[in-house]
Structure 1
Amino acid sequence: MSINIKPCTIEDLSILQEISYETFNETFKDQNSPEIMNAYLEKAFNVKQLEKELSNIFSRFFFVYFNNEVAGYLKVNSHDAQSENMGEDSLEIERIYVRAKFQKLGLGKYLINKAIEIAVEQGKNKIWLGVWEKNENAIAFYKKIGFVQAGTHSFYMGNEEQIDFIMIKSLV
């Protein structure tokens, strides 16, 4: 069994888009209508949007490989790329997506550790993320590894407001 992480670049855009659609759909399709899902996927993961995100100097993407197959990815944001203003001492984990067939293999923890490594390299005091209030498995995972709920924010699927818990892990 081999696990590797490699930076994702603009040359990886098509596989990034494919994994984004696949993993988001796998995770949330049962709780949202097909119309809302399709509209969100097209807005959030179209080529122009992903190019813009990949080009932002304050956002970084990493693929995780399991036995040389792309199993998922991590997106972290600092400075003004963060989806909420959490301060200069924070690093956001905006996306941590693992394909269904690779879940329960420890890849999520591997990606979290990569985010922590980046945060420490950048001198950050905390990492944070938003997780849907109904995603009980993810919430339990984040709590188990030391994240605590520190608030909420709105996340929109189409015109439907959903609530994300903001969870923070202190690094000091």
Structure 2
Amino acid sequence: MTVETVSSSPAFDAISFTISVAKPSDAADVAALGGSVFFESFAWSMPAQDMDNYLKSSYSSDAIRAEIQDTITYRFYVARDSNDPGRLLGFVQLNRFSDEPCLKIKPPNTIELQRIYTELKAHGRGVGTALMKTALDYAIEQGYKAMWLGVWEHNLKAQKFYQRNHFEKVGDHDFKMGSCVQTDWILERHF
């Protein structure tokens, strides 16, 4: 799928990108983007050693490649710049088997939006919206009745994005990274 966005802001040029199912060859780019965005967004909120350990375990190329190859559990989509296909603009990761006690609809009828990240320079340019639409379309096509996600209680920008996409808070849980424990809100959307 090729998408071209037209920015309503004069500060941003239009951007054209393609969205496709991720392949193992995308793992290094997904790991680099995911680790970079996670660090830039959250490093200030936790001890440096906890951040470093989390990035090494969750955003190594090997860890991401293993998840991309596990097509029973995960579904990944990547958004690449149409004019520079080597540039990854964003990705979304879905998890078919995760659960939370507060969910109103349980597996196998729900799917988790585990990660949705865009390059910081791509924020506000339609990449995240297109990745969200792709994820929602996939979930509906596959017969899921709901989608859920966890978002940090202090990540107001992400919360607003999810609210615009009709997700509602149904609970919370602790998100542990080493000695650091943060509260994530659990949001759910029914189809």
TM over 0.5, yes or no? yes
User: Per the alignment, in what secondary structure is the counterpart of residue 50 of structure 2?
Assistant: helix
Question: Which segments of 5 or more consecutive residues in structure 2 lack a partner in the other structure?
Answer: 1-14
Q: Which residue of 2 aligns with 1:75?
A: 93
Deviations 1:80-130 (A, max 9, x none): 2x2647311111100000111111112111111111111011101111111
TM-score (norm 2): 0.82
Match for residue 49 of structure 2 among 35, 42, 45: 35
Give me the whole-angstrom Cα distance separating, in 1, the residues matched to 2:140 and 2:121: 31
Give me the whole-angstrom Cα distance separating, in 1, the residues matched to 2:136 and 2:43: 30
Residues 8 and 83 of structure 1, relative CA distance in 2, 3 Å threshold: farther
User: Per the alignment, in what secondary structure is the counterpart of residue 36 of structure 2?
Assistant: helix
User: Per the alignment, in what secondary structure is the counterpart of residue 91 of structure 2?
Assistant: strand
- The amino acid across from 1:147 in the alignment is F
TM-score (norm 1): 0.90
| Number of matched pairs | 169
Give me the whole-angstrom Cα distance separating, in 1, the residues matched to 2:132 and 2:51: 26
Task: Answer yes or no: is the 8 Å Cα contact 2:27–2:62 preserved in 1.
Answer: no
Q: Which has the larger radius of gyration?
A: 2
User: Per the alignment, in what secondary structure is the counterpart of residue 125 of structure 2?
Assistant: coil
Q: CA RMSD in A?
A: 1.6
Q: Percent same amino acid among aligned pairs?
A: 28
Question: Which segments of 5 or more consecutive residues in structure 1 lack a partner in the other structure?
Answer: none
Q: Which structure dedicates a bigger proportion of its chain to helix?
A: 1
Task: Answer yes or no: is the 8 Å Cα contact 2:173–2:184 preserved in 1.
Answer: yes
Q: Which residue of 2 aligns with 1:44?
A: 58
Q: Which residue of 1 aligns with 2:32?
A: 18
Of 125-134 and 10-19, more deviation after overlay is shown by 10-19
